[in-house]
């Protein structure tokens, strides 16, 4: 779904280049201009990060408990088709005025089949893992295509705007110089409504569309008609 193109930045500077840089009898006007366009996409990937924690009288005991929990979570996730699983940071430290040890490690899940994915996330919560985050995102392919489309829309808008300004000045657009495309990282995590209970139904999630924008800036070359 496309949003109307919005021009967020527009700056013009009329510069008179040195006469020796121009062909005889011809002058140029340089117009500095920028346009921004946006497109929206429905998130097509769910990403969940869960954490296993354990506390014990020794570092070895705490770590052993975390290792068992993470190993069980990884095995269960790998058994679900379409889910990618990876493990994250691992740390161990003294707690309770150095009377005990606590160990922790995270596991990250990625998937595109939301119902199955959320059932898995709920099952891991039931095994004692704590939900750290649960986000909607765009896959890399979807985000790339959205950025390309937004860039094309912004460039088209820039050309139209430059031609319109040229007409207002009694000139014509003959080309663009120093074209720069700025595409912020878009389609990032989107918050989800979540029920993170230790036991019970799977998390409930409602996604919102991701907005991907692109800004094109250029120097438009204008000449007399």
The tens digit of pLDDT for each residue in 64-80 reads 999 999 999 999 999 99
Mean pLDDT within 202-208? 77
Q: Look at residue 52 and tell me whether its pLDDT is greater than 90.
A: yes
Q: Look at residue 137 and tell me whether its pLDDT is greater than 50.
A: yes
What's the mean per-residue pLDDT of the chain?
84
Structure tokens at 218: 């250029």
pTM of structure: 0.70
Q: Look at residue 81 and tell me whether its pLDDT is greater than 80.
A: yes
97 strand-pairing partners? none
- For residues 5 and 182, the model is more confident at 182
How far apart (Å, rounded) are the C-alpha atoms in residues 46 and 77? 14
**103, 126, 204, 220 from 110: Cα distances, Å:** 24, 19, 16, 44
Q: Quick one: pLDDT at residue 208?
A: 87
Tell how many helices (H) and how many strands (E) occur in the chain: 3, 8
pLDDT band of 15, cuts 50, 70, 90? very low
The one-character DSSP state at 28 is -
Long-range contacts of range 58-66, CB-CB < 8 Å, 24 or more positions apart?
58/101, 59/92, 59/101, 59/103, 61/101, 62/92, 62/100, 62/101, 62/102, 62/103, 63/92, 63/103, 65/103, 66/90, 66/103, 66/104, 66/105
- Assign 200 to helix, strand or coil: coil
Pairing of strands 210-224, 100-111: unpaired
pLDDT band of 94, cuts 50, 70, 90? very high
Q: Quick one: pLDDT at residue 26?
A: 60
- For residues 7 and 30, the model is more confident at 30
CB-based contacts of 198, cutoff 8 Å, min separation 6: 125, 126, 128
- Lowest-pLDDT range, 40-49, 96-105, 183-192? 183-192
């Amino acid at each position: 779904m496309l949003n109307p193109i919005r021009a967020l930045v527009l700056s013009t500077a009329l510069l008179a280049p040195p006469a020796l840089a121009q062909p005889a009898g011809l002058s140029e006007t340089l117009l500095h201009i920028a346009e921004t366009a946006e497109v929206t996409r429905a998130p097509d990937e769910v990403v969940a990060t869960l954490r296993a924690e354990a506390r014990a009288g020794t570092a070895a005991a705490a770590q052993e408990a975390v290792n068992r929990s993470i190993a069980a979570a990884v095995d269960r996730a790998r058994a679900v088709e379409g889910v990618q699983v990876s493990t994250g940071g691992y740390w161990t430290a003294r707690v309770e005025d150095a009377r005990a040890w606590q160990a922790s490690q995270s596991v990250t899940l990625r998937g595109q089949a939301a119902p199955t994915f959320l059932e898995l996330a709920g099952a891991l919560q039931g095994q004692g893992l704590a939900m750290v985050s649960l986000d909607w995102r765009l896959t890399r392919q979807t985000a790339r295509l959205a950025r390309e489309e937004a860039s094309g829309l912004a460039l088209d808008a820039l050309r139209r705007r430059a031609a319109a300004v040229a007409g207002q000045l009694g000139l014509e657009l003959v080309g663009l110089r120093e074209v720069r495309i700025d595409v912020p990282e878009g389609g990032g995590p989107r918050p989800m409504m979540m029920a993170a209970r230790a036991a019970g139904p799977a998390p409930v999630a409602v996604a919102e569309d991701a907005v991907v924008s692109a800004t094109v800036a250029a120097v438009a070359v204008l000449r007399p008609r």
